[in-house]
Amino acid sequence: MAYQKTLCILKPGVLQRRIVGELISRIERKGLKIQAMKMMQIPRALGEEHYAEHKDKPFYESLVGYMTSAPVIAMVVGGEEAIPFLRTIAGKTKPAEAAPGTIRGDFALITQNNIIHAADSPESAAREVALFFDEAEILDYEDPNADWIS
């Protein structure tokens, strides 16, 4: 087991649906630790850079348009193996394949609008965290529950 930090974005629509608390609760009750959080409307250039690996995909324009269309909640989530754990909580990218009990399985229908982003590898997590947060915004703090959780 290794302690990891990963980027999580609650995508456009989550605020409007009033499910921010519900989604964050799922992340917290798993035992992951929020180390940074902000509400923001993603600027076009940041959206393009974040999804640069999909530049040649047919859905790229529409994806960037969606991600920049309304405010999001961006978070740095930490914990032992936080990258795979957050992806498991999120569920498969295509909501039709996401298991019930996962965030996408319970709250999403459309692949593009799959309501949560979770970095998919240590390399992506490092790149994406640095895109959205300055080092000084990411807080390490005492966590007396850590020994009970991990």
Residue 114 is a binding residue for ligand CMP (CB under 6 A): yes
- Least distance from C-beta 112 to ligand CMP, angstroms? 4
Residue 112 is a binding residue for ligand CMP (CB under 6 A): yes
Residue 117 is a binding residue for ligand CMP (CB under 6 A): yes
- Least distance from C-beta 63 to ligand CMP, angstroms? 5
Count residues near ligand CMP (CB under 6 A): 8
Active site residues: 117
Give 38 or 57: the residue with its C-beta nearer to ligand CMP. Answer: 57
Question: Between the CA of residue 110 and those of 33, 47, 86, 113, 139, what are the distances in Å?
Answer: 28, 19, 20, 5, 34
Around Cβ 2, how many Cβ atoms within 10 Å?
Answer: 8
Footprint on residues 57-96 left by ligand CMP (CB under 6 A): 59, 63, 93
Helices (H), the chain: 20-30, 44-50, 60-67, 82-90, 103-107, 122-132, 146-149
Around Cβ 126, how many Cβ atoms within 10 Å?
Answer: 15
- Least distance from C-beta 22 to ligand CMP, angstroms? 19
Strands across the sheet containing 116-118 = 33-40, 72-80, 3-10, 116-118
| Residues at the contact surface with ligand CMP, assessed by CB under 6 A | 54, 59, 63, 93, 111-112, 114, 117
